[in-house]
A = this chain, B = another copy of it.
Amino acid sequence: MDIATVIGLFLGFALVIGSILIGGGGLGPFINVPSLMITVGGSFAALLINFPLAKVLGVASVVKKCFTVALPSTAEVIERFMNLSTIVRRDGLLALENEFDSIDDEFLKRGLEMVVGGSSREELTSILEIEVAYIEQRHQNGKKIIDATAAAAPAFGMIGTLIGLVQMLRTLDDPSQIGVGMATALLTTLYGAVIANLVCIPLAGKLEARSQEEVLIRELMIAGMGALVEGHPPRIVQERLVAFLAPAHRPEPETTAAAA
């Protein structure tokens, strides 16, 4: 679980709700189903027009990446490939097949099947790089939909507020209702602002960071599989993979020597 995303969302909503409760009058006046309907529903309608249906429905699985940590860390990937290279040097490439059961990652499994199947390093790299490009593109599509929502929600919030204002202004003769009418009209603007600034804009940012992270892990795996095909010893495999990391993330020489 990406604890920062969860804490951030929890903290943000806690602050918004807390700030409402401190102001007095309770949460009641801030909950209004029709206001939610026009803001959320209107944004969703705009998304349906804007994007192919399949992409709108698929955005949830992309957003899930902002909350879950399905990927191994770079250290784990490097260690795994050092182990795999030990196996390959001891028992040959075919021995990798025994490892398949312990691998959950689809991308890694497919790659290793190609390694066992005798693909050359060039073949392996070119096919897997295309796959990485498609993974990146799917993330970009997801980000585009979230960005569009971040723009649509405040717009439909404003549309809702305009509708509320027009209705309130036509009944000015009942002064007791002016304040309540205007307060309700402003709710959609508030909803739109919260959806955009507390949910969509930050999630789009996290999605981009996650995408870069996944691409790095995938590149690391491709480099590792290339090294397996060429039959390098664990030490060389480690060296090659470590070169992908920022200096601050590189393991200390002693530690990795022990791990090796």
Cβ B205 vs Cβ A187 within 8 A: no
Please indicate the chain B residues that have their CB under 8 angstroms from the CB of A202 in the complex: 46-50
Cβ B25 vs Cβ A37 within 8 A: no
Cβ B198 vs Cβ A45 within 8 A: yes
Contact-size category for A: 35 or more
A116 close to B (CB within 8 Å): no
Please indicate the chain B residues that have their CB under 8 angstroms from the CB of A108 in the complex: none
Q: Give complex CA distance A206, B51 in Å.
A: 5
Copies of the polypeptide in the assembly: 5
Cβ A187 vs Cβ B166 within 8 A: yes
Cβ B183 vs Cβ A24 within 8 A: no
Could you jot down 14 A-B contacts, CB within 8 Å?
A4-B51, A8-B47, A8-B49, A11-B45, A15-B37, A19-B38, A48-B202, A49-B199, A49-B203, A131-B247, A162-B189, A162-B193, A166-B187, A169-B183
Residues of A near any B CB (own CB < 8 A): 3-5, 7-9, 11-12, 15-16, 18-20, 22-25, 29-30, 34, 37-38, 41-42, 44-53, 56, 66, 130-131, 134, 137, 148, 151-152, 155-156, 158-160, 162-167, 169-173, 176, 178-180, 182-183, 186-187, 189-190, 193-194, 196-199, 201-203, 205-206, 209, 213, 246-248
